[in-house]
Chain A
Amino acid sequence: MLDLAFTPPAPKVIAGAREDWELVIGMEVHAQVASAAKLFSGAATRFGAEPNSNVSFVDAAMPGMLPVLNEYCIEQAVRTGLGLRATINLTSAFDRKNYFYPDLPQGYQISQLYHPLVGEGEVRVDLAPGVARMVRIERIHVEQDAGKSIHDMDPALSFVDLNRTGVALMEIVSRPDIRGPEEAAAYVTKLRQILRYLGTCDGNMQNGNLRADVNVSICRPGAYERFRETGDHGHLGTRCEIKNMNSMRFIQAAIEYEARRQIAIVEDGGKVVQETRLYDPTKGETRSMRSKEEAHDYRYFPCPDLLPLEIEQAWVDDIAATLPELPDAKKARFVEGYGVTEYDADVLTAEREAADFFEAVAAGRDGKAAANWVINELFGRLNKEALAITDSPVSAGQLGGLIDLIASGEISGKIAKDVFEILWSEGGDPARIVEDRGMRQVTDTGALEAAVDAVIAANPAQVEKARANPKLAGWFVGQVMKATGGKANPQAVNDIVAARLGL
């Protein structure tokens, strides 16, 4: 696999009242496995169903019901692990994490504490062209999601919907390698991109299908490097965990707030207390979840309903053989193969469908021209109209045909934009449109010369000015373009104007 070279960014430094501080961030990202049925039952995972309709007796924890593992969920988690260049553990096991909450009818969540399915991996987090942070993944384990409690439907009651209960999640745990709020958001963005490439999670943050717990601590400059050398967490500050965030913007704001809160405590001579906090987006603050502190004794033990999960290396190899080209490799290939900038390659590879579209346009054509048209015209227009690439009214074939017409000199770039408009709103074949509507560029020297001569003859005063100041020749080019309805070849007109004026 081809990867672009990079250097790591400098960590974010926040100036306190007394001294400078750095941030150390680790994340636990919960990604809902893209599957039709739940992890241990045959109930559907479909979002937005009637409350408690995607619920089997297993999910509702009726007495005597036993979990049966959905093998596809494991396949998806293995695929994710392979996509994050992680080790796959052929033997893993399920444990019970015990706590009481109305949306967890079992009284425990089936998770994998002691023997996770996926071990150490890594994610390259791009921050700017040539600048990236390699974030180490500690583990990925498979677990059940809880249900949903709604607190605002009645002043005295909470409403519980178990549709989500038992849906498979992958908890992707990073090492504390993230060094600032922007890096944290970029890390989640990159994870989401990889998951979507792999098809293992749809990445829909609004529906809660991808959400993050963020561990934040602060340290003095230099302390983090000592931690990395020695592995001793004593060099780092006490961390606080901000739970359950499903927006890139909130993740950044919460980390920023939390770091400043901790700095203020430490600079005042106080101590940061290790605790779980919630981010309140309306106030822009984090606050302690003290109510849950005492309950945080999960009494994990191996789940007696489930044997250890044994998978075979051959099965893992089969999954590995079906992995798509992943964002890092695709981006590097675009830079090398199509000559596009790293920045453009980033934009083009953000979504797999968009990258495929670009490749269809660029096939056999100039890569840079294709990138320009796809990014500036097509993506720009799609964004404006809030359309996905898959809904584009202009196909890759049409856009490619348009680029061919520019390359062959049949139309100017300016006319091409008009043709693009027609393709967008009316559709059709670009060559046909140019032909039928007389949009072909005039390159016939005789006709152009006549047009230039006419403009010169009609504007003797401008001719005098232009001879004194050659920069004004552009005015004549403009007039000729106007007279020809934009169809004149601007370069040819330029040359003729210069010759006629003797510049």
Chain B
Amino acid sequence: MSQIDPETARKVAKLARIAVPDADLPRLAQELSGILTFMEELNAVDVTGVEPMVSVSPMRLKRRADGVTDGGMQDKVLANAPDAREGFFTVPKVVE
């Protein structure tokens, strides 16, 4: 049985950039554990030799030809940016 402890819940939240107050972590951990436990019921099914199904209809992955058909709209791309200067998105400094 997969058990998610509050510390793991904190890590998952951080990786997903979701702010979770410390007080909420135990409850979140419990909920996540419940979901995993529920999903683990699927492990009871024997799938030996069964090809994983990736789509309900037999479809081939769509492809495009190598042609330039898009772009050239800096203004639209930047339109929703909270801050943009000189054609760039600008964000608080990311120091490497």
Contacts and interface: CB of A to CB of B under 8 A. Distances in A.
Contact of B70 (A43, A154, A295, A299): A43
A316 interface: no
B69 A160 contact: no
Contacts of B95: 151, 291
Interface in A248-307: 278, 289, 291, 295, 297, 299, 302, 306-307
Overall SS of chain B's interface: loop
Contacts of B85: 157, 159
A51 B72 CA distance: 10
Given A68-B63, A310-B61, A159 B92 contact: no
Given A43-B68, A44-B68, A307-B54, A71 B63 contact: yes
Interface in A149-192: 149-151, 153-162
Nearest to B88: A159
A155 B83 CA distance: 15
A208 interface: no
B10 to A, nearest CB: 12
B87 interface: yes
A295 B15 contact: yes
B66 A72 contact: yes
A44 B68 CA distance: 5
A72 B15 CA distance: 34
Overall SS of chain A's interface: loop
Q: How large is the interface on A (under 10, 10 to 19, 20 to 34, 35 or more residues)?
A: 35 or more
A102 B77 CA distance: 15
B64 A70 contact: yes
Interface of A: 35-37, 41-44, 50-58, 60, 68-74, 98, 100-102, 149-151, 153-162, 278, 289, 291, 295, 297, 299, 302, 306-310
Given A74-B63, A153-B88, A306-B61, 11 more contacts: A42-B67, A42-B70, A53-B71, A57-B70, A57-B77, A68-B62, A70-B63, A157-B92, A158-B90, A278-B96, A289-B96
